Amino acid sequence: MKPNNCQNQLSHELKEKAKTEGFSPVGIARVPGSKRINLRTASLERWLNAGYHADMNWMAAPKRRQIEELLEGVNSLLAVGLNYYTAINKNPEALSVAKYGWGRDYHKVISQRLKRVGKWLEKQRPSCKWKVCVDSTPLLDKVWAEEAGIGWIGKHSNLINSQQGSWMAIGHLLCTEPLTPDKPAQALCGRCQKCMDACPTKAITEPFVVDARKCLAYHTIENRNSEIPENIKQSLGTWIAGCDICQEVCPWNQRSIPRSVDPEIMPKDWILNLTKEQVLSWDDDQWAKNLQGSALSRIKPWMWRRNAKAIEEKISDI
């Protein structure tokens, strides 16, 4: 059905509203979306069959393949990026914490702001139902963000925007209102494969496919075993929480990309100056204080200590 002027106007205003909440880029997709959605959903199936999800069994939830299961009557979605790239560097002597975790928990930031956008939409269209999805909701975040045109999925499997690079967290506002879609994004990696070459464990087994069993981010954030596997320890370097290597080398992140000045994105001091001694000596109460309101709270105090010990063992082996 052809979008009418009223629908175009509402779609435009909705995106403007999202921008006033600090989101950039923003875009809209229609459900069920293009054929690409089916292709990417089949890729999820292939990824699961290969066992690349490691112990993340929640990745197999059937809802992840069916957006309609998340909101009855869903017609459209607004996809938003939250830029977490700042002008600040960590202390070069400190342990490395992935940038997504430096500021206030992005789940909280995106969700609070998208809820305001949802309430605004409901005011314009009182019969409209909506739902906010950030990361932990079983939705293929990057796939729908690509469909809404806010970036393409790079060979490291993260979403890249041509103006902003890939340092962004993603959120979605699903709604029952028919909105005017943006054009899906086109992939711009070309022949580059810097991320694949730079990955210390060769976790990017083929373009666009990450085997979590080899990924430092998986082992430092999600792995709940008491020991980090030996082959991973050898490649940890100073990464204690997450890993940014494949994004650090990406040419789209080398350009002059916008730096966030959002107070909620600004890094906490302890994260920029973290030492092994601190990680090992802080008790659970101290960790609880540090991790309050942080996405890094997914990493439990015992995991921080386990990760630090794995780094320590590696360094003492040299």
In the set 55, 105, 135, 182, the catalytic residue is 135
The one-letter code for the residue type at 68 is: E
Going by C-alpha positions, the residue among 3, 17, 7, 1 that lies closest to residue 125 is 7
Q: Which one of 187, 192, 249, 272 is in contact with ligand B12 (CB under 6 A)?
A: 187
CA–CA separation, 196 vs 280, rounded Å? Answer: 33
Q: Is 242 an interacting residue with respect to ligand B12 (CB under 6 A)?
A: yes
Question: Which residue, 154 or 178, is less far from ligand SF4 as judged by CB?
Answer: 154
Residue 69 contacts ligand B12 per CB under 6 A = no
Helical packing angle, 106-124 and 5-20, nearest 10°: 150
**Binds ligand B12 by CB under 6 A, chosen from 79, 95, 114, 170:** 170
* Three-state DSSP class for residue 231: helix
The CB-of-254 to ligand SF4 minimum distance in angstroms stands at: 10
Report CA-CA distances (Å) from 192 to 150, 169, 195, 212: 21, 23, 8, 22
Asked if 135 is an active-site residue, the reply is: yes
Residues forming contacts to ligand SF4 in the complex (CB under 6 A) are: 154-156, 189, 192-195, 199, 201, 203-204, 210, 215-217, 243, 245-246, 249-252
Query: Any bridge partners for residue 169, and if so which?
Result: 82
C-alpha 192, offset from chain centre: 22
Based on the number of CB atoms within 10 Å of its own CB, is 123 exposed (0-12), middle (13-18) or buried (19 or more)?
exposed
80 binds, among ligand SF4, ligand B12, none (CB under 5 to 8 A by kind): none
Q: How far is the CB of 163 from ligand B12 (least distance, A)?
A: 13
> Is the distance from CB of 223 to CB of 242 less than 8 angstroms?
no
> Of all residues in this chain, which one has the CB nearest to ligand B12 in the complex?
242
Among the listed residues 118, 113, 116, the one whose alpha carbon sits nearest the alpha carbon of residue 177: 118
In the complex with ligand SF4, which residue's Cβ is closer, 130 or 152?
152
- Binds ligand B12 by CB under 6 A, chosen from 77, 217, 265, 299: 217
Number of residues interacting with ligand B12: please give it, by CB under 6 A.
38
Residues that bind ligand B12 (CB under 6 A): 40, 43-44, 47, 56, 59, 98, 100, 134-135, 139-143, 153, 156-159, 166, 168-170, 187, 208-210, 212, 215, 217-218, 221-222, 242-244, 246
**Residues with catalytic roles:** 135
